[in-house]
Structure 1
Amino acid sequence: MSDLADYLTARAGIWHYARRVPAAFAEFDPRGVIRQSTKIRVIDDPRKVRAARAAARINSELEAYWRDGLRGDAVAARARYDKVRRDARRLGFEYISAVEVSQRPIEEILQRFEALAARNVIDDKPAEAALLGTVPAPALELTGLFDEFETLMKASLRTMSEDQLRKWRNPKKRAIANFIKVVGNKAVAQLTRADALDFQRWWQARVIAEDMEIETANKDIGHLNKMLRKVEHAHQMQIGPIFAQMRIEGGTTGQRVAFDPKFVQDELLKDGALDGLNDEARRVLYLISETGLRLSEACNLTRETIKLDAAVPHVMVRPNGRKMKTEQSERDIPLVGVALEAMKLQPDGFPRYRHKSDSLSALVNKFLDSKKLLREDGQTLYSLRHTFEDRLTAVEAPDKLAAALMGHKYHRPRYGVGPSLAQKREWLEKIAFKKLPAV
């Protein structure tokens, strides 16, 4: 409260909030000094305690007004700039700044003036601005970096589901928010290597003081590097790869630990072991244990992709309104053992968790932990996928078949259509769990 108390002055026995408009906002707020009564008498609050709280409210509203003003000004500046670029293209030229125009060969400069004369637009100010580059490019600040990056990535994001978009957006927004904490809301074009070094040092201090994971820091650095390089290229900013080689050494990827197959058979698949989980959550676990599906792949199965009446009952992993993790993720997997029994009871899939795999993961992991069924550090529900892969390795399944079941890339030239459903089922039956619970 002490800083806000500095904005308080006594006038006619009443505490008043008074603050000079910062230079950054002066262009659209010409009032000079803002004065507003707190309506709290000095005699009732001599130590400014209540008045400081009132000042905090006034200050918060004022700063929000200033920020909105900046955003509005930025939007208008962007609109002016986009229009002048369109005008330049309409007149047959690339829009460049006045400084760049002056540096072009004299022949090109003359062509621009001749274009104005030929179209009889010598006194047309918008046309002059378009051909002579008199409208400056709006400054892109860090607070606008993500929106600009998302716009540039729009084509790549078109197949993502809302849940996938949320997962894609959030870590990038967090990285920018953390960067702003360190360097402030700078213009992207003014960022330097020193800013990146300050951010790296900030993260190093957090890793030590708060026991944060190094990989968390490196993810922030990686996201910022990717966003800045993409935006820099699009806007020809030439700020350079300021985050290159900034990763902090010593991090680990946090590889999940597989369950022992015997533990899955004797403990996870024991009758009553999963009592307390709702039917859909329990049956997703059964499905994953026999198929190695990613959790999101299991949650987004539908009646159209569950083929129980086929000669070889199977599930089809398809996009279904979401982007596939890899090209190889699209695959068909036979149903055997407890997975087949579970899916007979879920012919429409798992509507409760469709596009909500994170919620299911949190629920099941909490349940398994409470039942002491996560015996090693790093084990989660997803560990069943690693167990599935280990079981294929144990029976020496061909690499091509294992890759087809896991949805991994097969690192050899691709010929033919790959293993058939019958071939896949033959190998899955070799590793199917034998003692099955009531599903």
Structure 2
Amino acid sequence: MVKRHRAPRPHNRAGVWYLIRRVPKEFKAFDKRGIVKITTDIAVADDPRAIRAREVVAKLNDGLEQYWRDLRDGRSNDARARFEAAQSRARALGFTYKTAEEVAAGPLNDILKRLDLLAQKKLLDDETEVAAVLGGVPRARFPLSGLLEEYERLQRSSLDRMSPDQRRIWRNTRKRAIANLISVIGDKEISEITRDDTIAYRRWWQDRIAYHGLDIGTANKEIGQISKMVKAVDMMYQLNLKPVFAQLRIEGGAKKSRAAFTAEFVQTRILAPGALDGLNDEARDLVLLVADTGLRLSEAAGLVAGTIHLDADIPYVSVKPIDRILKTDQSERDIPLVGCALDAMKRHPKGFPRYRDKASSLSALVNKYLGAHGMRPSKAHSLYSLRHTFEDRLTAVEAPEKVIASLMGHKWIRPKYGAGPSLAQKLEWLQRIAFSPPTNDALEVVVQETVLPSK
């Protein structure tokens, strides 16, 4: 605890009220400033009796004392930086970093080695080196409310490759998982989470599943995300945490199979003349594109001019990690354009800027439209169902599994050799299942304007 004999008073420094405090002895090892001076930004002339300044100084002082406690306990960013530096220096000197308590509890031989190295290198008077070797810096501490921020920092190389929307989704799912855990056990330091806490968290999920109809898969996903974040921080900072999140998975979850439209329903209802006229042109043509390519919504909306090849002998689109990451390594692929998809891409040779990195908005709009116009046979059917319809149609014509996997962007069950199915081979199967484009006069005019060379 910080000893306080009386409330700090404002100090007049060059006509401005300041908080001025000497760093307490117990914190001198963490804050080297000696004397701390923080301005209130209140001029003495405007507050000659320091009435307002006293209130500001009290708040500044509370913040300063919290900062010192966080430094001592390893909770602040500065404290974490000092701990990382101590870890790095200990490794450079040939030791694994241990706190003073861990060093003292270890074998005598290890203590003697550490002292001997400091003596040999004449470092016994160097506070930084002694702290690194003998554990003078406390381990970093992380409340659950700060876990995501730290995990983001550890994952920054992966996050830098994501699109803004991918980062938003990535962050929100983990933010929600942490908020749920905090609602059950409170904002604990991750080092203080017990097995009883995690069992209580699991029980909370079981109750929600039983009484509120939530999905087991959602529960297991959140539990897994929390566990992964804690493990990453534990490994980075050598916190030596107990595996309190182990074996929490809830059994009984069945993998949901998304509904697929029948090919007849797509052709006669969704692709009926005028059926999609109420959508804007980009949303309407993205529906047509997905219907005859099986692209994921984010893949279709993410196409740009450099991935659209209409002038090739076989027109095709390429799924590539441009300004975003792909769902899997196998997602990177080339897909020939036939039927509805070819028509749609001719109208949008540079892609779909309105929905680029906004697949969620596209899905919400189209699903609402399909539902309002009687084109969702059940609640399980959605725009994404067209991708499953695409796969079903390939299966129905007995396309080779390797061709199906290549078109869908799925992992092939056998080791990959060679370049895989060619565009021509893919085209052969896609031509067998291609839908007939809607015979909408307005669309046909646009196609003609796009295809005919300008005079």
Moved over 6 A (4+): 28-32, 64-68
Q: Distance in 1 between matches of 2:210 and 2:178?
A: 21
> Do structure 1's residue 112 and structure 2's residue 114 form an aligned pair?
yes
Tell me which residue corresponds to 1:308: 310
Runs of at least 5 residues in structure 1 that lack an aligned partner in the other structure: 1-25, 33-60
Q: Distance in 1 between matches of 2:81 and 2:433?
A: 62
Q: Distance in 2 between matches of 1:423 and 1:99?
A: 67
Tell me which residue corresponds to 1:277: 279
Contact 1:288 1:294 (8 Å CA) reproduced: yes
Residue 438 of structure 2 aligns to a residue in which SS? coil
Q: Distance in 1 between matches of 2:2 and 2:225?
A: 34
Contact 2:139 2:239 (8 Å CA) reproduced: no
Tell me which residue corresponds to 1:362: 364
> Do structure 1's residue 433 and structure 2's residue 409 form an aligned pair?
no
Tell me which residue corresponds to 2:85: 83
Contact 2:287 2:383 (8 Å CA) reproduced: yes
Residue 270 of structure 1 aligns to a residue in which SS? coil
Shift of 1:185: 1.3
Residue 147 of structure 1 aligns to a residue in which SS? helix
Tell me which residue corresponds to 1:142: 144
Distance change >3 Å, CA 394–CA 31, structure 1 → 2? farther
Q: Distance in 1 between matches of 2:4 and 2:391?
A: 64
TM-score normalised to the size of structure 1? 0.80
Shift of 1:427: 1.0
Shift of 1:415: 2.8
**Alignment equivalent of 1:291, drawn from 285, 290, 293:** 293
Distance change >3 Å, CA 338–CA 105, structure 1 → 2? same
Shifted more, 273-282 versus 142-151: the winner is: 142-151
Distance change >3 Å, CA 107–CA 65, structure 1 → 2? closer
Q: Distance in 1 between matches of 2:92 and 2:86?
A: 10
Tell me which residue corresponds to 1:390: 392
Q: How does 1:42-191 map to 2 (within 5 A)?
A: 74-191=76-193
Tell me which residue corresponds to 1:403: 405
Distance change >3 Å, CA 104–CA 241, structure 1 → 2? closer
Q: Distance in 2 between matches of 1:27 and 1:385?
A: 63
Shifted more, 148-157 versus 137-146: the winner is: 148-157
Shift of 1:203: 2.0
**Alignment equivalent of 2:325, drawn from 323, 326, 334:** 323
Q: Distance in 1 between matches of 2:320 and 2:261?
A: 27
Shift of 1:257: 0.3
TM-score normalised to the size of structure 2? 0.78
Q: Distance in 1 between matches of 2:187 and 2:66?
A: 14
Contact 1:257 1:377 (8 Å CA) reproduced: no
Tell me which residue corresponds to 1:374: 376
Tell me which residue corresponds to 1:52: none
Distance change >3 Å, CA 245–CA 206, structure 1 → 2? same
Partner deviation per Cα, 1:266-299 (whole Å, 9 max, x = no partner): 0000111011100000000000000101111100
Tell me which residue corresponds to 1:353: 355
Q: Distance in 2 between matches of 1:268 and 1:373?
A: 7
Contact 1:292 1:406 (8 Å CA) reproduced: yes
Contact 1:139 1:187 (8 Å CA) reproduced: yes
Shift of 1:28: 9.7
Shift of 1:425: 1.1
Q: How does 1:176-325 map to 2 (within 5 A)?
A: 176-325=178-327
Shifted more, 309-318 versus 233-242: the winner is: 233-242
Shift of 1:437: 3.3
Partner deviation per Cα, 1:69-92 (whole Å, 9 max, x = no partner): 577862232233233334434545
Q: Distance in 2 between matches of 1:190 and 1:175?
A: 18
Shifted more, 231-240 versus 217-226: the winner is: 231-240
RMSD: 2.7
**Alignment equivalent of 2:343, drawn from 338, 341, 344:** 341
Q: Distance in 1 between matches of 2:222 and 2:173?
A: 7
Q: Distance in 2 between matches of 1:109 and 1:177?
A: 42
Distance change >3 Å, CA 114–CA 435, structure 1 → 2? closer
Partner deviation per Cα, 1:226-261 (whole Å, 9 max, x = no partner): 222333333344433323332334444443200010
Shift of 1:193: 1.4
Distance change >3 Å, CA 75–CA 362, structure 1 → 2? same
Residue 76 of structure 2 aligns to a residue in which SS? helix
Shift of 1:29: 9.0
Q: Distance in 2 between matches of 1:349 and 1:31?
A: 68
Tell me which residue corresponds to 1:424: 426
Q: Distance in 2 between matches of 1:134 and 1:279?
A: 65
Aligned residues: 385
Q: Distance in 1 between matches of 2:87 and 2:312?
A: 58
Distance change >3 Å, CA 198–CA 321, structure 1 → 2? same
Question: Structure 1 vs Structure 2: percent identity of aligned residues?
Answer: 51
Q: Distance in 1 between matches of 2:167 and 2:291?
A: 28
Q: Distance in 1 between matches of 2:408 and 2:297?
A: 12
Q: How does 1:19-58 map to 2 (within 5 A)?
A: 27=2
Shifted more, 114-123 versus 300-309: the winner is: 114-123
Contact 1:191 1:239 (8 Å CA) reproduced: no
AA matched with 1:167: I
AA matched with 2:312: A
Distance change >3 Å, CA 182–CA 31, structure 1 → 2? farther
Tell me which residue corresponds to 1:42: none
Shift of 1:105: 4.4
Q: Distance in 1 between matches of 2:66 and 2:361?
A: 35
Q: Distance in 1 between matches of 2:435 and 2:416?
A: 31
